[in-house]
Amino acid sequence: MENFAATLTSHDAYLNGVPHEIFKELRAHQPVAWTEEPDGRGFWSITKYDDVLYASRHAEIFSSRQGIRMEDMSEEETEARRTLMEMDSPEHTRLRRLVARPFTPRAVADYEDAIRELSREVLANLGGAEEFDFVKLVARELPMKMLGRLLGLPDEDLDWLVSRGDALIGNTDPEFTDYVVDQTDTSAYRLLPFRSPVALELFEYAQAALDARRLNPTHDVITALLQPNNEGDSLDDTALKNFFTLMVAAGNDTTRYTMVAGAQVFIERPELFASIPSLDVAQMKSLVDEILRWSTTTMHFRRTVTEDTELRGQQLKKGDKVVLWYASANYDEEHFENPYEFVPDRTPNDHTAFGLHSAHLCLGAHLARLELRVMFEEMARAWSSIELAGPTERLRSNFISGTKRLPILVTWR
């Protein structure tokens, strides 16, 4: 137990998987645990489901305004880098209303045909290959193509765009960025999202896209975001560019790595993969939700305490950082029966993979769920089996849990 802090903050510690044993110990013995940070002022780790729920529902005490990643940021940095995620109501409510329309369940349901067409295209592009990297050729492709379709961006820009998103979200993995935050001096970029100059490239790209849509409005999400809402309220260009960057960063690799986790489950359970064509939509939705719980791709988000408060006997002081470990809450044995068992039809399954029922619940949840379901359906239609074909490799990150290389062998139908 002595060493748990080092484990939770170290990016390297997640290279072999999520440290579930540590979370289990914490839930049992120190559910609200002070966690030392090598380069920071430390934080409270919250690991029980009910406590994560409590903090999520009390944003007046557990605020997002001072940052949602572990790292400390000065007020100047937070101000400059603020997106929807780093806001509390009423500022958050206003912005969320302005951007939410294209992401409602109703709006997203209309994308099903497009997602199916794109999924088939991704699989057809494999050209019948039997052995390949699932991450690179399947899981990375669909979210990228779908984002391009939503935002009305040309296909030839997408690879570049997603590599920029990877550099931001993967800012702790040297494979994705030259600006690894805990290994290089990134202080010159501290006012940019993810402390990375890559954000400037995305801002520039977004500005060009905004200018183009103003001249030639189309039917995409960018054009929709340029319109004022019913109350005549609209976004300025800074807010639009920040939101664009947030979509590229938040919507791609999260969906990608959850899709990879799904493929890993199917490799472990061939009978489950083989059964997919016989499952109805409701059963597929349950399966996708269990994959979301099982993998919990975004392992945590952070809040900051706005007033002295007590939680499970611990005194939390105003200004203390609190990390909500979604990856632990999803395995809380007091909330989920047999949490370490993968139960395809788990009911209920009120997991925390998209955050908990609060203002910040993932905006892209319906879209991500649909992409995952349709791609899994199409994979099972195309392949009769899927096996591991070589060593896998994990992302270096204490934030995103992901396998970045998954060589597989498939049998085409």
What minimum distance in Å lies between the beta carbon of 183 and ligand HEM? Answer: 26
What minimum distance in Å lies between the beta carbon of 355 and ligand HEM? Answer: 3
- Any contact of residue 261 with ligand HEM (CB under 6 A)? no
- Any contact of residue 293 with ligand HEM (CB under 6 A)? no
Q: How far apart are CA 196 and CA 207, in angstroms?
A: 18
Which residue lies nearer to ligand HEM by CB, 189 or 354? 354
The tally of CA atoms less than 13 A away on the side-chain side of residue 103 is: 20
- Any contact of residue 96 with ligand HEM (CB under 6 A)? yes
Nearest by Cα to 331 from 7, 48, 31: 48
Do the Cβ atoms of 180 and 173 come closer than 8 Å?
yes
Which residue has its beta carbon closest to ligand HEM? 364
Q: Which of 171, 172, 298, 330 binds ligand HEM (CB under 6 A)?
A: 298
Report strand pairing: 309-311 vs 314-316: antiparallel
- Any contact of residue 118 with ligand HEM (CB under 6 A)? no
Scanning residues 49 to 68, which ones bind ligand HEM (CB under 6 A)? 64, 68
Nearest by Cα to 81 from 92, 67, 95: 67
- Any contact of residue 258 with ligand HEM (CB under 6 A)? yes
What minimum distance in Å lies between the beta carbon of 31 and ligand HEM? Answer: 19
- Any contact of residue 254 with ligand HEM (CB under 6 A)? yes
What minimum distance in Å lies between the beta carbon of 68 and ligand HEM? Answer: 5
The tally of CA atoms less than 13 A away on the side-chain side of residue 256 is: 34
Candidates 106-114, 174-182, 226-234, 297-305: pick the segment binding ligand HEM (CB under 6 A). Answer: 297-305
Q: By rule CB under 6 A, what count of residues binds ligand HEM?
A: 25
Q: How far apart are CA 321 and CA 63, in angstroms?
A: 10
Which residue lies nearer to ligand HEM by CB, 85 or 98? 85
7 burial type by CB count under 10 A (0-12 exposed, 13-18 middle, 19+ buried): middle
Nearest by Cα to 260 from 355, 164, 366, 143: 143
Do the Cβ atoms of 46 and 324 come closer than 8 Å?
yes
Candidates 131-139, 231-239, 247-255, 385-393: pick the segment binding ligand HEM (CB under 6 A). Answer: 247-255
Which residue lies nearer to ligand HEM by CB, 123 or 151? 151
Candidates 306-314, 339-347, 352-360, 378-386: pick the segment binding ligand HEM (CB under 6 A). Answer: 352-360
- Any contact of residue 397 with ligand HEM (CB under 6 A)? no
Specify the amino acid at residue 199.
Answer: A
Candidates 46-54, 127-135, 198-206, 350-358: pick the segment binding ligand HEM (CB under 6 A). Answer: 350-358
Residue for token pair 């690799």: 253
Do the Cβ atoms of 208 and 237 come closer than 8 Å?
no
- Any contact of residue 363 with ligand HEM (CB under 6 A)? yes
Q: How far apart are CA 164 and CA 96, in angstroms?
A: 24
Do the Cβ atoms of 52 and 325 come closer than 8 Å?
yes
Candidates 35-43, 151-159, 295-303, 335-343: pick the segment binding ligand HEM (CB under 6 A). Answer: 295-303
Coarse DSSP helix, strand, coil percentages of the chain, rounded to the nearest 5 percent: 50, 10, 35
Which residue lies nearer to ligand HEM by CB, 27 or 351? 351
Nearest by Cα to 381 from 166, 137, 116: 116
Do the Cβ atoms of 267 and 386 come closer than 8 Å?
yes
- Any contact of residue 301 with ligand HEM (CB under 6 A)? yes
Q: Which of 118, 135, 199, 250 binds ligand HEM (CB under 6 A)?
A: 250
What residues make contact with ligand HEM under the rule CB under 6 A?
64, 68, 84-85, 96, 246-247, 250-251, 254-255, 258, 297-298, 301, 326, 353-355, 360, 362-364, 367-368
